[in-house]
């Protein structure tokens, strides 16, 4: 068990910069996720931690040990690969026992440890089978068992659940989270699935194009995203973001968008930059759950909208609204909107919750103003 420190990590493949300027400190026992779209450098970062890829520059330490250019076998890390990397010519027992055998552990001890881990992962009855006789879920368990069997300092997981079907994945999420907290080994988990990261992580590192965008708790990532990319990447359905200009009238600030105006909270605009924000093209963001829908226009629902598409998801309904060319997704509980007319083209009125609006710089994508009701914890990175 150990903490991980990564300083100024850089990895180039020829001229291509895969990972740049990554600085991370992961506490002992923490469950940290590397989240990002494919090709963002998250797997490369993980492979550098495992020693399967050597960094171009920077420093990696596990515990207090500098492991930057150390070969994998000396690092004492456990790893689960995307397609498990189980040896198909060995039985499940042989697979799990392999890391112990390599280290020359006595046979009786291996037997005891493997049985122990198999019990934890509930795979005792398949120990004598070969990997090709197992189901996807069982393979997953075997791969995790092989990682657990060693007393590794750090666990690394490279999209281990991407091959499972949705139902099994939901089940494994809870199980894995529980297991990680029970064993308490520092774990780094790579995924492109924001739901996985949000539900399991202690902290999330969001990456894009080899850059680290934000390193924070799931709640902070969700409520105080560092950039427009983070804001739209996390959350399902994703945040509505569109162009606007902030103007001032007698009654206060408002955001003028194509076809409609959004009244803004004066105090919020003043603390977020005030006059500096005026008359610039900015990006206004609002999450679907912070748009309320009404059949009639009133003070709380000043914006006229037409229903573009209706998407029921069970307990909640998604109404995709068309407001003068801008499409906005809204999310409301099914019970509250049961009486709504769901025919496309029906007139509606919508209103934005002024406490949950976001402003992004349209050039750099950086967040200029967080929702005034969001958690004001410290933002790292």
Smallest gap from Cβ 211 to another protein, in A, equals: 25
Smallest gap from Cβ 67 to another protein, in A, equals: 13
Cα angle value 169/138/113 (rounded, 5°): 115
* Cβ closest to another protein, residue 43 vs residue 329: 43
25-84 residues in contact with another protein (CB under 8 A) are 50-52, 71-73, 75, 77-79, 81-83
Please select the residue that binds another protein; options are 89, 296, 298, 343, rule is CB under 8 A.
89
* Cβ closest to another protein, residue 58 vs residue 78: 78
Asked whether position 85 contacts another protein by CB under 8 A, the answer is yes
What are the strands of the beta sheet with 303-312, ordered from one edge?
A: 291-294, 347-352, 303-312, 316-323, 326-333
Whole-number Cα distances in Å, 30 to 174, 188, 201: 16, 8, 8
Smallest gap from Cβ 137 to another protein, in A, equals: 17
DSSP 156-184: EEESTTTTS-HHHHHHHHHHHHHHHHHH-
Q: Rounded to an integer, what distance in angstroms lies between the CA atom of residue 300 and that of residue 331?
A: 17
Asked whether position 98 contacts another protein by CB under 8 A, the answer is yes
* Cβ closest to another protein, residue 52 vs residue 368: 52
Smallest CA-to-CA distance from 369 within 300, 303, 290, 276 is with: 276
Whole-number Cα distances in Å, 73 to 37, 60, 87, 113, 336: 29, 16, 18, 20, 58
Assigned token pair, 228: 């427009």
* Cβ closest to another protein, residue 132 vs residue 250: 132
Smallest CA-to-CA distance from 73 within 51, 96, 53, 54 is with: 51
Smallest gap from Cβ 131 to another protein, in A, equals: 9
* Cβ closest to another protein, residue 16 vs residue 378: 16
114-153 residues in contact with another protein (CB under 8 A) are 132, 146, 150
Asked whether position 99 contacts another protein by CB under 8 A, the answer is yes
Smallest gap from Cβ 50 to another protein, in A, equals: 5
* Cβ closest to another protein, residue 82 vs residue 266: 82
Assigned token pair, 123: 């795979």
Q: Rounded to an integer, what distance in angstroms lies between the CA atom of residue 230 and that of residue 366?
A: 10
Residues that bind another protein (CB under 8 A): 50-52, 71-73, 75, 77-79, 81-83, 85-89, 98-99, 102-103, 132, 146, 150
């Amino acid at each position: 068990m150990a903490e991980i420190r990564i300083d100024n990590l850089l990895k180039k493949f020829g001229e291509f910069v895969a990972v740049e300027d990554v600085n991370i400190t992961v506490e002992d026992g923490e469950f940290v996720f590397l989240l990002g779209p494919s090709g963002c450098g998250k797997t490369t970062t993980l492979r550098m931690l495992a020693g399967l890829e050597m960094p171009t520059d920077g420093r990696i330490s596990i515990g207090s040990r500098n492991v930057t250019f150390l070969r994998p076998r000396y690092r004492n890390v456990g790893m689960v690969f995307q397609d498990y990397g189980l040896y198909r010519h060995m039985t499940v027992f042989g697979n799990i026992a392999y890391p112990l055998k390599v280290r020359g552990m006595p046979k009786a001890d291996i037997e005891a440890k493997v049985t122990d881990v198999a019990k934890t992962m509930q795979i005792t009855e398949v120990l004598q089978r070969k990997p090709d006789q197992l189901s996807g879920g069982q393979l997953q368990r075997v791969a995790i068992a092989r990682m657990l069997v060693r007393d590794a300092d750090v666990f690394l997981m490279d999209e281990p659940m991407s091959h499972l079907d949705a139902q099994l994945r939901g089940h494994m999420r809870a199980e894995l989270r529980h297991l990680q907290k029970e064993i308490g080994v520092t774990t780094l988990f790579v995924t492109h699935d924001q739901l996985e990261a949000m539900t399991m992580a202690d902290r999330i590192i969001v990456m894009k194009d080899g850059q680290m965008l934000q390193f924070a708790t799931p709640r902070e990532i969700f409520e105080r995203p560092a950039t427009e990319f983070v804001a739209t990447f996390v959350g399902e359905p994703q945040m509505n973001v569109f162009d606007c200009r902030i103007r001032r009238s007698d009654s206060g600030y408002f955001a003028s968008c194509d076809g409609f105006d959004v009244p803004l909270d004066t105090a919020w605009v003043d603390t977020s930059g005030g006059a500096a924000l005026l008359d610039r093209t900015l990006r206004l963001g609002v999450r679907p759950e912070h748009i309320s829908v009404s059949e009639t226009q009133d003070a709380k629902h000043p914006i006229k909208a037409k229903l573009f598409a209706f998407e029921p998801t069970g307990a909640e309904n998604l109404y995709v609204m068309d407001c003068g060319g801008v499409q906005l997704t809204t999310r409301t509980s099914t019970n509250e909107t049961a009486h709504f007319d769901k025919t496309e083209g029906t007139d509606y009125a919508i209103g934005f919750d002024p406490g949950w609006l976001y402003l992004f710089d349209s050039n750099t994508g950086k967040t200029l103003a967080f929702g005034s009701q969001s958690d004001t914890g410290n933002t790292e990175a």
